[in-house]
A and B are shown apart, each in its own frame.
Chain A
Amino acid sequence: MSLATRVRLKTSVSACVFMLATAANADPQGQKIYTQGGESPLAMACTTCHGANGLGTDSAGFPRLAGLPQGYLVKQLEDFGSGKRANAVMQPIASALSESEEQAVASYLSTMAVPAPAVDLAATGSVGGAAEKLVKQGDWSRNIPACVACHGVSDTGVGQSFPPLLGQSATYIAAQLNAWRSGTRKNDPNDLMGHIARSLTDAEIKDLSTYFASLSGGAKQ
C-alpha cells in the first residue's frame, strides 16, 4: 500500500469515527431548527439554502455552516438580527430566532461533520502563485498577514472568532472580501478583517476566492 493511500485510508477512518462521535453529541433542538425551522414561522429552516449537509450552495453563494465555531455562528446570527451584519435574507430569519434557538442551532452546526480537507495550507514549503502566497505568507509590504496566520490551516477555524476558509465557495469568499473592503460588512472585532480587505486589489480578491474554492471543490460532490 502506498503511503498516500494509507494516509487517505487513515483520514477516512478518522472521519467516520468523527462523524459517529458527533452524531451522538448532536444537539437535537439545534438539528430540528436546522432542518425544520424555529418556533416562529419566520425562522425558516436553514437547510433550505445551506443544504442538508450544511455545506452551503456554491452557485448562490450560500456559505458552508457545518463545522464552523459555535461562537462565530452565534455572533453572526446576533449581528444579522441587529443589522450589524446587513443581509436581507438572513435579517428576518435571525430576528425570528430566540437566543436559546441561536445557541442550539450553532451548537448543532459546530459539531456537524465536514469532509476531511485534502490540502495542506502550512506556511512551509514553496508557494506557487500570488494567491497562494497571500494565503500562506501574506504581503508584509502592505501589512497583510497570511490568511492562515489567523484562520489556521485546518477546516475548523481557530477558537470562537476565526472561521475556517476551506470549504467556502468562490462566490461567498469574494462577496465577503468585497463587503469587508467596501465597509458594508464591518462586524469584525477591532477591524481585523476590514483593514486587510481594504488593502487587497480586485484581482487579488478574485484570485483568492478562486484559490480557496479550488482547494475544496471536490469535497462537496
Chain B
Amino acid sequence: MNFPAKVLIAVVVAVPLLAAKTWYEERGMTPVAKAPSAAAGVADAHPDAGVAAAPAKPSGPLVFTPPQESELPDNAFGVLVREGRDIFVNTQKNAADYVGNGLNCTNCHLDQGRKAGSAPLWGAYGMYPAYRKKNNKVNTFAERMQGCFEFSMNGKAPASDSHVIKALSTYAYWLATTAPVGVDLPGRLYPVIPAPEKGYDLVKGKQIYADQCSICHGAEGQGQKSADTYVFPPLWGKDSYNWGAGMHRINTAAGFIKQNMPLGKGGSLTDAQAWDVAAYINSQERPQDPRLVDNSVEKTRKKYHEGDGVNLYGESVNGVILGQGIK
C-alpha cells in the first residue's frame, strides 16, 4: 500500500471516531469501550454512570451505557421499570395474552435490551415518534412496540394504554436515561453486514446451521425447552416470528447473527457465513404475515415484501413457494 493511501485510510478511520468522541464529551455523556478487556473484574465491568471504563482499544466503538438496576429509585417508578423488565425478559409468562409463539423480547434484544448491536432499547427510545415505511405513518414508541407483538411475537398488540405497554415504555425510558433524543446512537439496531458479492448460499447456510446453531436451536429450528419453557428460541416453524417480522429479512438477521451469534461468540462468523445462515433460516416456513392480502401470498409479497430488504416471502425455493404460513 502506498503512503498517501495509508494516510487517507487513517484519516477516514480517525476523523469519525474523534468526532463521535468530541460529540459525546460535549454533551457530558459517557463513552465506554464496547468490549472492555477480558481481564477486567466484575467491579469495573459495570461502571456506574459517569465513570468511564478503560477502553480495550483506544479506537474502539463508543457506546452508550444504560443505568444499573441498583440506581433505580425505591418508588412507583422503580416498580414499573422492574415490571417492564420482567415482561421483556419473560414475555411468555408476563404478557402471555399478547404472545402467539415461543419467543421473549430478550431473544432478539440481548442482555435484557441493553446490549449494543442487539437493537438495545436505549437506542430505540429516543428515535420515536418516527415515520415508518412499514405502515406508512408516524409511529409512537408504543405503536412501534405494538408492531413487535403483532409480528415478532406473532401475537396481538396490547392497547397503548395497557399495563404491558406502559411498563415496557417505562423500562425503555429508564434504560435511555441521559441518552439524547432523536440521535442515531452507535450500537442502535443491528449492524449492517455487506451482502456477499455473489449472493448468499443456502447450501452453505444449511451446513453452518448444522455445525454451529443446531446444538442450541435444534436440527429443525424448533428451539429447545426445559421444564416446558423455551430456553433456546425456535427460529422457524409455528412457534417462531412470523413472515411480517423484521427478522424475516435476511439482511436484518445477518446483522443480528454476525453481531451476537453463537451466543457469547458474536463476531466469530464471517460476513458471508452470517448471510448464508440467515438466508437458510429465513428460507424456512413460519407463521403467516398477519397483513395477508386477499388470501394471496403473491399480492402480499407485492404489497409488503417487495423492496423490504432482502427476503424470500413469496419466492420459490427448491420448487416451493415460501410464505404459505404454518400454524
- Which residue numbers of A lie inside 8 Å of B, CB to CB? 122-127, 130, 133-134, 137-145, 148-150, 152-154, 156-159, 161-162, 189-192, 195-196, 198-199, 201, 203-204
Contacts and interface: CB of A to CB of B under 8 A. Distances in A.
Given A156-B226, A195-B265, A201 B89 contact: no
B226 A158 contact: yes
B115 A140 contact: yes
A125 B86 contact: yes
Decide if the interface of chain B is mainly helix, strand, loop or mixed.
mixed
Given A124-B86, A150-B231, A158-B231, A190 B212 contact: yes
A140 B115 CA distance: 7
Q: Kindly state the interface size class of chain B when it binds its partner.
A: 35 or more
B93 to A, nearest CB: 8
B69 interface: yes
A130 B44 CA distance: 12
Interface stretch (B35-43, B142-150, B242-250): B35-43
Nearest to B232: A158
A144 B45 CA distance: 11
Given A124-B86, A189-B215, A145 B264 contact: yes
Nearest to B106: A123
A43 B111 CA distance: 45
Contacts of A149: 231, 263
A133, A141, A189 pick with most chain B CB within 10 angstroms: A141
Contact of A123 (B89, B232, B266): B89
Contacts of A159: 215, 218, 224, 232
B196 interface: no
Interface in B61-90: 69, 82, 85-86, 89-90
A122, A140, A161 pick with most chain B CB within 10 angstroms: A140
13 contacts: A123-B89, A126-B69, A127-B69, A133-B42, A137-B111, A143-B264, A145-B263, A150-B231, A156-B227, A158-B226, A159-B218, A162-B231, A191-B265
Interface in B213-263: 215-216, 218, 224-227, 229, 231-232, 262-263
Interface string B105-120: 0100011101100000
Nearest to B86: A124
B226 A122 contact: no
B38 A198 contact: yes
A124 B89 CA distance: 6
A196 B215 contact: no
B94 interface: yes
Contacts of A123: 89-90, 106, 112
Interface in B161-186: none
B204 interface: no
Interface in B261-281: 262-266
A142 B266 CA distance: 11
Contacts of A134: 42
A190 B262 contact: yes
Nearest to B39: A201
Contacts of B263: 145, 149-150
Given A138-B111, A150-B231, A196 B264 contact: yes
Contacts of B82: 126
Contacts of A196: 264
Contact of A137 (B112, B212, B229): B112
Nearest to A202: B41
A195 B267 CA distance: 13
